[in-house]
Amino acid sequence: MRAMPIPSDHPLLLRIVDDLAERGWSQQNLFLPDALTRALAAECRQRAAEGELAPAAVGRGPFSEIREGIRGDRIQWIEPGQAQACDHYLGLMDSLREAMNRGLFLGLEDFESHFALYPPGAFYLKHVDRFRDDDRRMVSAVLYLNDAWSAEQGGQLRMYLDEGVAHDVTPVGGCLVVFLSGEIPHEVLPATRDRLSLTGWFRRRGNELF
């Protein structure tokens, strides 16, 4: 598929920026064209079949560990130049990064992203996406890659917005959810089938100690 750049003042991106400014999160059900969603899903499945997805760890650096009682997904980080579909997605996220920098003055410098596959029954308990020793992650973006998902199959992303107010997102292919990493606790509910996504974080320059 030919990579089609999207300008950073595209209405879809401006809507996401407005949502973030107003309430800290945005859900765009029709973010990706079907062909690109399918190509990304195929890439994720191929990597899984080749054994390239590994159990995700909890925490960071020397203290990270695999704990399926907290999160049970298998992941692989993506890099530019590996696959056309991934490069296309990274290009879109770069336009979104520019749009957020322009509209929200976040000073986002890069974007890191991984495929994630939750096998049936796997989940990720309630958490926030910012590590105590690394505050570079500013904005989280989750893109779902699942064909014909129905709510009874589970796998919702549950976001805790305010005291007693939760919002569930069904992980339907092509849907993008964006939220402020340090502000919105969330969890992934177990599903009855494989649940595929591309999850990423926009980061600013950090004040790392090491």
Q: Specify the residue, 8 or 197, whose C-beta has the smaller distance to ligand OGA.
A: 197
Position closest to ligand OGA via CB: 157
Based on the shown chain and the rule CB under 6 A, indicate whether residue 199 belongs to the binding site for ligand OGA. Answer: yes
Residue 5, burial from CB neighbour count under 10 angstroms (0-12, 13-18, 19+): exposed
Ramachandran angles phi, psi of 115, nearest 5° = -70, 145
Q: Which helix (H) or strand (E) holds 18?
A: helix 11-23
Min dist CB 187 to Mn ion, Å, is 8
Q: Which of 124, 149, 179, 202 binds ligand OGA (CB under 6 A)?
A: 124
> Would you say 143 and 173 are in contact if contact means Cβ atoms under 8 Å apart?
no
Q: Which of 122, 138, 197, 202 binds ligand OGA (CB under 6 A)?
A: 197
Binding at 199: pick from Mn ion, ligand OGA, none (beta carbon under 5-8 Å per type): ligand OGA
Binding at 188: pick from ligand OGA, Mn ion, none (beta carbon under 5-8 Å per type): ligand OGA
Site string for Mn ion, 104-143 (x = CB under 5 A): -------------------------x--------------
Q: Which residues contact 16 (CB under 8 A, 6 or more apart)?
A: 26, 28, 96, 99, 100, 176, 178
Based on the shown chain and the rule CB under 6 A, indicate whether residue 188 belongs to the binding site for ligand OGA. Answer: yes
Based on the shown chain and the rule CB under 5 A, indicate whether residue 73 belongs to the binding site for Mn ion. Answer: no
Based on the shown chain and the rule CB under 6 A, indicate whether residue 76 belongs to the binding site for ligand OGA. Answer: no
Phi-psi region of 116 (alpha: psi -120 to 50; beta: other; left: phi over 0): beta
Residue with tokens 């890069």: 110
> Would you say 80 and 169 are in contact if contact means Cβ atoms under 8 Å apart?
no
Residue 43, burial from CB neighbour count under 10 angstroms (0-12, 13-18, 19+): buried
Min dist CB 199 to ligand OGA, Å, is 4
Q: Which residues bind Mn ion (CB under 5 A)?
A: 129
Q: Which residues bind ligand OGA (CB under 6 A)?
A: 116, 124, 129, 142, 157, 186, 188, 197, 199
